[in-house]
Amino acid sequence: MQRSRESNEVATRHQVEGIAINVEDDDGVRAPVLLTPSEAAEWCHISVGTLNHLRYHGRFAPAIRIGKRCFWTPKDLLAWLESQKEPA
């Protein structure tokens, strides 16, 4: 199956922790990696319900709001996971 020239020019696909993302277009512009609630929950090994509960009570990573939807960056999720470590 031959790919169209247009689809090759749109973006380069990469895998980050098993989630396909668009990283860079032909002009070298990097798109931010934004994870949906289900992707963020999977990434943190929690359920979407737990994510929503933590978010509602202000105990989860800060979200990026676009309209009604919430997204998270892997950097913010990693920072949140690091903050969850128990003291030694």
The type of residue at 15 is Q
Query: Count of domains in the chain?
Result: 1
Closest CA to 60 of 68, 20, 43: 43
For residue 88, is it within any domain? no
**5-43 pLDDT, tens digit each:** 443 333 334 444 455 555 566 677 888 899 999 999 999
What is the structure's pLDDT at 31? 82
Residues 6+ apart with CB under 8 A from 44: 51, 77, 80, 81
For residue 65, is it within any domain? yes
For residue 63, is it within any domain? yes
Q: Nearest 5°: phi and psi at 52?
A: -65, -40
- DSSP lists the bridge partners of residue 19 as 16
Residue with tokens 């979200």: 63
For residue 69, is it within any domain? yes
**44 burial class (0-12, 13-18, 19+ CB within 10 angstroms)?**
buried
**42-72 pLDDT, tens digit each:** 999 999 999 999 999 999 999 999 999 999 9
Mean pLDDT of the chain: 80
The pTM of the full predicted model, rounded to 2 decimals, is 0.67
